[in-house]
A and B are shown apart, each in its own frame.
Chain A
Amino acid sequence: GQQVMQIPQYQHVQEGEDFTTYCNSSTTLSNIQWYKQRPGGHPVFLIQLVKSGEVKKQKRLTFQFGEAKKNSSLHITATQTTDVGTYFCAGLWEYGNKLVFGAGTILRVKS
């Protein structure tokens, strides 16, 4: 079946450093969504990207959708301890009827 590959699996950063997680699909996506799961919590929807080359920002978070709609990234500028958690991407393919989640990137921030 269709898969979304997400890297890295883990990232430990010093508070104030930047962080990026990447998602890749072998086939063109209809849209991609990003979720954050705090430790002990449940995934929370952050954003959806639909257009080729789209870039969206939420405060220190920048989301990009590749020109070919096969890859996406989430970049956090100047991480804070409140950013800790697992970040998931989730892809939807044309004519698909359900999201497929990546394995997630666990972010730890050292203060």
Chain B
Amino acid sequence: DVKVTQSSRYLVKRTGEKVFLECVQDMDHENMFWYRQDPGLGLRLIYFSYDVKMKEKGDIPEGYSVSREKKERFSLILESASTNQTSMYLCASSLWDVYGYTFGSGTRLTVV
């Protein structure tokens, strides 16, 4: 089975801190995605990547950046954390556009 691993299950950070969320997949998938999930708003795409060193903005990229230096790893960076970035962050990967996504277990980030 494809495994998508997110480095932390829970994180608490202070306002203004730079935050790194790490995601690693073990099945050589080309595509990787970062979503945030908030009650009543569903899954909103932050950034995605179809190849190493390639990135595209999703629907809500403001306040975030990403890095994909290796095919298996996709990092989400909060340049200066703010309280409105408190959320559940989900990483996903897929083989091609038309295949189902495999999600990681999520990181629940609280910014205080």
Q: In the complex the two chains form, is A48's CB within 8 Å of B59's CB?
A: no
Kindly state the separation between the CA atoms of A98 and B56 in the bound complex, as whole angstroms: 10
Kindly state the separation between the CA atoms of A13 and B45 in the bound complex, as whole angstroms: 31
Q: Using a Cβ–Cβ cut-off of 8 Å, how many residues does chain A contribute to the interface with B?
A: 25
Q: In the complex the two chains form, is A101's CB within 8 Å of B43's CB?
A: yes
Kindly state the separation between the CA atoms of A35 and B103 in the bound complex, as whole angstroms: 10
> A60 to nearest B CB, angstroms?
20
Q: In the complex the two chains form, is A92's CB within 8 Å of B41's CB?
A: no
Q: Closest chain A residue to B101 by CB distance? A: A45
Choose from B40, B98, B106 the contact partner of A42 (Cβ within 8 Å): B106
A to B CB contacts below 8 Å, 26 in the list: A31-B98, A33-B100, A35-B101, A41-B105, A42-B90, A42-B103, A42-B104, A43-B43, A43-B101, A44-B103, A45-B101, A48-B99, A88-B42, A90-B101, A96-B97, A97-B50, A97-B97, A98-B33, A98-B45, A98-B58, A98-B97, A100-B45, A101-B35, A101-B43, A103-B40, A104-B43
Query: B residues bordering A, Cβ < 8 Å?
Result: 33, 35, 40-43, 45, 48, 50, 56, 58-59, 90, 92, 97-106
